[in-house]
Amino acid sequence: MQRNGIFTHAKNLFWLFSDNCDLHFKVSRDRYSGYPLTIEGFAYLWAGARATHGVTQGRVCFEMKINEEIPVKHLPSSEPDPHVVRIGWSLNHCGTQLGEEPFSFGYGGTGKKSSDCKFADFGEKFGENDVIGCYIDFDSGDEVEMGYTKNGVWLGVAFRTTKEALAGRALFPHVLVKNCAVEFNFGQKREPYFPPPEGYTYIHNLSMEDKIRGTKGPASKSECEILMMVGLPACGKTTWAIKHAETNPEKKYNILGTNAIMDKMKVMGLRRQRNYAGRWDILIQQATQCLNRLIEIAARKRRNYILDQTNVYGSARRRKMRPFEGFQRKAIVICPTDEDLKERTLKQTNEQGKDVPDHAVLEMKANFTVPEPCDFLEAVTFIELQRDEAEKLLKQYNEEGRKAGPPPEKRFDNRQTGFRGRGGGSFQRYDNRDGSRGGYQNRSGDGGSGYRGGYSRGSYNQNRWSNSYRDGGSDSRGGYNRNQQSGGSYNRPAPYKGGYNQVLNRTFKIKNKTHKKTFSHMHFKCLKT
């Protein structure tokens, strides 16, 4: 069978696994190339993908070519290594951040190799138009060796592990990219980019008996599950989500939360708050925008998700769950004792700094409602305090939050005037809409982006990549088509032919004055809670 000049055999089909990649990594229609989303804050993010099959024996190889370093002129000039690819092997249950956990082995374009987040010099740097060959050897006694070539030149063995440590588990081809479009030769091409060393076989050409299939995603939407975390900041939501995903690897949960986004912004394995030289508040805001877009994409993909946000407002829970109609929708309530919450909050502040201001937490307490099974929630599970005890504690929190609120005439309302002129009503809602509407709502008329409208604030307007996002989304020629306009005049077609279609229209207006209180609210809305 021939497809786009590539010869394949139905019994040996092998490709990048669209169910086993980051939501912002687009696998092209031919399944042998891909690229990440690069607009807005996505340009800071790594995006990874793993192949459909792995191996446990023999001498096996594949090739990867960097077709293009996608322009990201909106990144600051201080951003380190805006175009990088990391390539290698990992186990089926590993995350997409190649080289940052055990049994995940990656060689990067910065001339570094990494495994278990331990980095060391290896080989040499590589970039656009370079071809990296990846070789794994199970026939070297008790050890398994992983080596690389660059443009046909042998760089040496980068990693060794033991067969005993692997315990019969397969290693899968894996790629991690930042702002680069890549293409693979698993052996489906008529001719390789460079001939492999003697004795190595392209993984595509192995018999199906010699390849191990990775975990398949849910076959239908009704088999998909979304778990919505519900709880105050620092109560333990992220800890529970990570542990639950690790103890249920067959589910392949995608954790959707600002904390997970920040993990994909690492530099040399370090989180940005420890080494980021730019504006931290702006980076958090961009991470929140990325999260909102990922939630939109997630609702159209057959996967399992954990929505790791506070979700204490009943109306926000309904709005966030509505796009996931047809999924198994469940709420996971984390409500520790008040003493435990204070202890965890103090620990998080000492370790990570204080992200959520006290007045915002009090507002959440004032408005925290217990979720009930309903038309958009099939089940509600309480992890620590059970329902009766949790309801008693939440009544105390509701009262505490309302008493701590400012008098009605002093309540801030996100308006240009800053405060309400008349009293009445309950404690001003901080509007913790950290979901698909973009979070922060500016009632002065500049904000108010919605789930269906993308992120729109001030005069900023961008065609949503998710509008054209499809599993096999490319034109009839599989061509790369990128037009980027800035100020209505810049038009740049890109040469890549790998199925990339991303249109970016931007118009910027800079306001000379920003209300201090408004910025405070905007900043909090971008924080991971």
Average pLDDT score over residue span 381-405: 94
* Sign of the CA dihedral running 92, 98, 101, 104: positive
Whole-number pLDDT of residue 484 = 38
Complete DSSP assignment for 287-350: HHHHHHHHHHHHTTS---EEE-S---SHHHHHHHHGGGTTSEEEEEE----HHHHHHHHHHHHH
The answer to which of 26-30, 321-325, 379-383 has the lowest mean pLDDT is: 26-30
CA dist 309 → 173, 380, 421, 466, 527 (Å) = 32, 16, 32, 22, 10
Asked if the 221-432+517-525 domain carries CATH number 3.40.50.300, the reply is yes
Greater confidence, 119 or 464?
A: 119
Whole-number pLDDT of residue 520 = 39
pLDDT digits (tens, 9 = 90+) for 136-161: 999 989 999 999 999 999 999 999 99
* Percentage above 70 pLDDT, the chain: 71
Give residue 468's pLDDT band: very low, low, confident or very high (50, 70, 90): very low
Q: What are phi and psi of 143, to 5 degrees?
A: -100, 155
Note whether 226 and 254 are within 8 A (CB): no
* Sign of the CA dihedral running 166, 15, 65, 271: negative
**Listed residue (310, 291, 330, 313) closest to 236, CA to CA:** 310
Q: Which CATH class is domain 2-213?
A: mainly beta
Q: Where in the chain is the domain with CATH 3.40.50.300?
A: 221-432+517-525
Whole-number pLDDT of residue 2 = 36
Q: Where in the chain is the domain with CATH 2.60.120.920?
A: 2-213
Please give the span between the terminal C-alpha atoms of the chain, in angstroms, as a whole number: 51
Q: What is the identity of the amino acid at 412?
A: F
The answer to which of 181-195, 220-234, 511-525 has the lowest mean pLDDT is: 511-525
Other beta carbons within 10 Å of 515: 17
Whole-number pLDDT of residue 351 = 79
Query: Residue 11 carries which DSSP code?
Result: G
Average pLDDT score over residue span 283-298: 90
> Could you tell me the two tokens for 12?
């040996």
Whole-number pLDDT of residue 471 = 36
Say yes or no to pLDDT of 82 above 60.
Answer: yes
Average pLDDT score over residue span 263-283: 71
Say yes or no to pLDDT of 360 above 60.
Answer: yes
* Sign of the CA dihedral running 4, 10, 14, 18: positive
pLDDT digits (tens, 9 = 90+) for 191-234: 999 999 999 999 999 999 999 999 888 999 999 999 999 999 99
Note whether 414 and 357 are within 8 A (CB): no
State the Cα–Cα distance between residues 330 and 399, nearest whole angstrom.
27
The answer to which of 69-73, 409-413, 456-460 has the lowest mean pLDDT is: 456-460
Give residue 266's pLDDT band: very low, low, confident or very high (50, 70, 90): confident
Q: What are phi and psi of 231, to 5 degrees?
A: 170, 160
